[in-house]
Amino acid sequence: MDLLDYEQASEFLGVQRGTLYSWVSTKQIPHVRLSGRLVRFDRAELEQWLDQRRVAVGRKPGVRR
C-alpha cells in the first residue's frame, strides 16, 4: 500500500490541497483517516477513483458529420 499525504495526493491529482480538504470532508474521495486530523490517500484507490470518473469522447447525439 502506497499512502500519500495531502501534498503528494494533490500533486498526483493535479488539484489544490484545499480541494482535497473539501473532498475529504464531504467524503467524495477515498481516504484513510489514521487519527482525528491525520489523513492519507492510497495511490491505487486514487487511480481507480480517477478511472471511474473518465468521460468517453464521442459524438454528441443528433450531430451529423
For the residues 5-30, what does the mean pLDDT come to? 97
Q: Which of 5, 13, 7 is nearest to 48 (CA)?
A: 13
Check pLDDT > 90 for residue 15: yes
Average pLDDT over the chain reads 92
**pLDDT band for position 1 (cuts 50, 70, 90):** confident
Q: Would you list the DSSP string of 24-38?
A: HHTT-S--EESSSS-
Rounded Cα distance between 5 and 11, Å, is 10
Check pLDDT > 80 for residue 59: no
3-state helix, strand, coil in the chain (%, to 5): 40, 10, 45
**pLDDT band for position 57 (cuts 50, 70, 90):** confident
Q: How confident is the model at residue 28, as a pLDDT? A: 96
Contact predicate 30/1, CB 8 Å: no
